[in-house]
Structure 1
Amino acid sequence: MASASELKHGKKLNEGKTKQIFELPEQPGHVLVQSKDQITAGNAARKDQMEGKAAISNKTTSAVFRLLQDAGIKTAFVGQQSDTAFVALHCEMIPIEWVCRRLATGSFLKRNPGVQEGYRFSPVKLEMFFKDDANNDPQWSEEQLIEAKFSFGGLDIGRCEVDIMNRSTVAIFEILEKAWATQNCTLVDMKIEFGVNVVTKEIVLADVIDNDSWRLWPAGDRKQQKDKQVYRDLQEVTPEAMQMVKRNFEWVSDRVQLLLESQTHGRVVVLMGSASDLAHCERIRSACGFYGVPCHLRVTSAHKGPDETLRIKAEYEGDGVPTVFVAVAGRSNGLGPVLSGNTAYPVISCPPLTPDWGAQDVWSSLRLPSGLGCTTVLSPDAAAQSAAQILGLSDHLVWAKLRAVMLNTWISLKQADKKLQACNL
């Protein structure tokens, strides 16, 4: 990609309150998203210049989109181009703001009198608002959106597309909520927008996600809020007040970089009873790699060398790294049960069953003595996923990948059903 000084943008395609969109003649299907130093509230009823805001917002957005893309969420983001701009896929934007709420505050309280601030939504509350400044962005229902019969980028927006955006909004919120929790910050609510990629005709997360997009309460305390609500709440806009707002935005842009880093680095240790099981174990290691989990392979037999098996186990227990053991042993599986009976760490048996005696051999993994908590998962991919789910409890990046897999699986099924129904008409 060309450097910021070399990149030549074409005509302006669109301009909003906080950004401009330019075509990129030398990169068909891409646009340049240029942030502005302007900060607004109340559909620009209040607006001011905040020097440095463009760079702060661009830094925040770029980090958030990298986090989501690494997890497996489809976005329009391509890469940060300069301090104040990034390159994105060219999308036709769907004129809806999707809002996801964990705690009740702001406009929700005005529209729902009697609900106390801080009311917790479980599951999260999902709302949508039609982008119409003249009418103050009215709230819309799913039915209104479907009946609007929108078409963008060659894609008709119907029930399938609305459901996909619904599910995607919740997944994106939950991934970022989990990430911000590592910084002892509560993601109270957030808004996002989707677009249709003009090349692939696919719905992707688009626009920006920066400090204008959410409410963040450090330690769950509204009085410590770091988002744009501080600007909205100003009684008077003074240079001192704007400096305070800027410091909050800088605090967020600095902290958001930390969301890209794992707070706990776990691992999977696969112990195989024989080197002949290597191909089976390599599948486990490959699947672990998909979730970003390091995987170590070792050879040891609980039947033929129990002392060595326990020594290897102790080696991995001794350094304090969160570990899931996966035991791979065919025929009579003593490896999983022996490990489970001698460690407090999770143990998963994934026996490489053969067609001849597999139906009999599996019972050595399923029927265990009392006091053993060793689970059995037959598929190598599923064993890796199960281990990732355990490690994801304390690693938000692993959890994010698992959450994105859930979303993408659901979307593929939804799209397959839509295609099948179209063929049947």
Structure 2
Amino acid sequence: MSGDQLKLGEKIIEGKTKVVTSLVDFPNQVLLQSKDRITAGDGARAHDMEGKAAISTATTVALFNLLNSAGVKTHFIKQNSDTSFMAYKCGMIPIEWVTRRVATGSFLKRNAGVKEGYRFCPPKLETFYKDDENHDPQWSYEQCLAANMEVGGVKIGRYEIDVMGKMTVAVFEILERCWASLDCSLIDMKLEFGVRSDTGEIVLADVIDSDSWRLWPAGDRRLMKDKQVYRELKEVTQEALDMVKRNFQWVAERVEKLSPKPHARAVVIMGSPTDSSFAERIKSTCTAYGVPCELRVSSAHKSTDEVLQILAEYEGEGIPTVFVAVAGRSNGLGPVLSANSTWPVINCPPVTGEWGAQDIWSSLRLPSGLGCGTVLSPEAAGLNAAQILSLSDHVIWSKLRAKKLNTWVTLKTADRKARDDK
């Protein structure tokens, strides 16, 4: 069903900059429509800005697509029009989660003595209760617990608060890394979460656009491209509004560049075609983390010249590459690759029970000057390759960071279930 054919139901909520409407044919989904409106100071300052809705939607859609692809759980489904998108229906949790990398803005007013530019490592996490009349007061962890909120049939307790906190920091770090690839510093960021009406699951919700963060190109506050420019205007003229709009458009255009295809790869070279099923497991893991992976067959003992030719071909292309050597018995493949290459080499021998204890030493005991490591599990070898390549590829890094988050949430959920089952 195309966007033009959607049957709109009742209006669920209308805010200062967006409207959320139910969908007749999709009871667990909503349409989120942005407005050509910019506000600041809990609505004390507000102006119409033609085209802002399309810019905001383009930014939000690109970022949610990026996060969904990385593996972060969000409410986003797909874009509907230039100014709207479809999302899972959620009960919104009335807490704003703010992550800060650099001390600036309101943090300095609330924390006298802290100098602007102080860098938080790890990022600083703060929570604010959404209440316009009281200017969104800051809440402590204990206040969030004591509120005993219930949203969408889910009591917001310690588990839910911990999960939202972990997700907030992970999303910030992912987007921080992405923006850094374009020489932009993500200074701070606010997020909101909701409880999905169909699953009861906590997901990242609302929108993420230039209203959501401070973004400084080249780390220079004077070049900021976020809504802070609008907040600091002494006089709001049409010329000033046009400048703010150009800043937002600048961001929307660059957001599209945050999700390129990975410019890195893994190459699995196996000493024998009989090891193909083992090598395929390495490739499968690489693919799951967004790492393109190629399989080759060549023997360091029986076709040394061909191994060196394959190596030269890949090095000549200049694409960051990790080689994984799959060779059992006497592993000459990994050491030969390592001795003749500047790229990382991982030994992953397909160890068998018969001679495994003896064969493994050919991967572990290396001549001097060689730096190839040894990993026995093919899945671990694929993960290791992804981790190495993520140092220069933020798309791969994002998938690894999201996987780390989801593993934490899985363990947290299992712990809660084990405790509740007693």
SS at match of 1:81: strand
CA distance in 2, matches of 1:380, 1:152: 43
2:37 match: 38
AA partner of residue 68 (structure 1): L
CA distance in 1, matches of 2:380, 2:151: 38
- Candidates 370, 393, 401, aligned match of 2:391: 393
Q: CA deviation at 1:286?
A: 1.0
SS at match of 1:386: helix
Q: CA deviation at 1:3?
A: 2.2
Spell out, residue by residue over 1:391-424, the C-alpha distance to the aligned partner (whole angstroms, 9 max, x if none): 1111111000000000000000000000000001
- Candidates 374, 379, 390, aligned match of 1:376: 374
Structure 2 counterparts to residues 298-313 of structure 1, below 5 A: 298-313=296-311
1:112 match: 111
SS at match of 2:8: coil
SS at match of 1:400: helix
1:207 match: 206
1:323 match: 321
Q: CA deviation at 1:28?
A: 1.8
Structure 2 counterparts to residues 292-303 of structure 1, below 5 A: 292-303=290-301
Spell out, residue by residue over 1:225-284, the C-alpha distance to the aligned partner (whole angstroms, 9 max, x if none): 00000000000111111111111111111111111214x611111110100000000111
CA distance in 2, matches of 1:40, 1:294: 44
Aligned residues: 422
Q: CA deviation at 1:22?
A: 0.2
CA distance in 1, matches of 2:216, 2:306: 51
Q: CA deviation at 1:36?
A: 0.7
CA distance in 2, matches of 1:373, 1:256: 38
Spell out, residue by residue over 1:41-72, the C-alpha distance to the aligned partner (whole angstroms, 9 max, x if none): 01001111111111110110000000000000
Spell out, residue by residue over 1:375-396, the C-alpha distance to the aligned partner (whole angstroms, 9 max, x if none): 1111111111111111111111
Q: CA deviation at 1:15?
A: 1.2
SS at match of 1:116: coil
- Higher alpha-carbon deviation: 303-312 or 25-34: 303-312
CA distance in 2, matches of 1:290, 1:28: 32
- Structure 2 residue 75 is the aligned partner of structure 1 residue 66: no
2:258 match: 259
AA partner of residue 233 (structure 2): L
Structure 2 counterparts to residues 287-366 of structure 1, below 5 A: 287-366=285-364
What TM-score, normalized by structure 1, do the two folds share?
0.98
- Higher alpha-carbon deviation: 228-237 or 287-296: 287-296
Instruction: Work out the percentage of aligned pairs sharing the same amino acid.
Output: 65
AA partner of residue 205 (structure 1): L
1:409 match: 407
Q: CA deviation at 1:358?
A: 1.3
CA distance in 1, matches of 2:310, 2:37: 59
- Higher alpha-carbon deviation: 57-66 or 350-359: 350-359
SS at match of 1:227: coil
1:57 match: 56
Q: CA deviation at 1:114?
A: 1.1
CA distance in 2, matches of 1:117, 1:20: 36
CA distance in 1, matches of 2:48, 2:322: 52
2:149 match: 150
CA distance in 2, matches of 1:15, 1:350: 57
- Structure 2 residue 79 is the aligned partner of structure 1 residue 80: yes
CA distance in 2, matches of 1:216, 1:310: 46
- Structure 2 residue 199 is the aligned partner of structure 1 residue 178: no
Spell out, residue by residue over 1:120-162, the C-alpha distance to the aligned partner (whole angstroms, 9 max, x if none): 1111000000001111100001111111111212222111111
Structure 2 counterparts to residues 18-33 of structure 1, below 5 A: 18-33=17-32
What root-mean-square deviation, in Å, do the aligned CA atoms of Structure 1 and Structure 2 show?
0.9
Spell out, residue by residue over 1:297-320, the C-alpha distance to the aligned partner (whole angstroms, 9 max, x if none): 111111112111111111111111
- Higher alpha-carbon deviation: 332-341 or 66-75: 332-341
Q: CA deviation at 1:168?
A: 0.6
1:197 match: 196
AA partner of residue 12 (structure 2): L
CA distance in 2, matches of 1:83, 1:303: 60
Structure 1 residues without counterparts, runs of 5 or longer: none
Q: CA deviation at 1:348?
A: 0.2
CA distance in 2, matches of 1:172, 1:340: 36
Structure 2 residues without counterparts, runs of 5 or longer: none
SS at match of 1:47: strand
2:134 match: 135
SS at match of 1:33: strand
SS at match of 2:55: helix
Spell out, residue by residue over 1:6-64, the C-alpha distance to the aligned partner (whole angstroms, 9 max, x if none): 11211100111111100001112000000011111010011111111111101100000
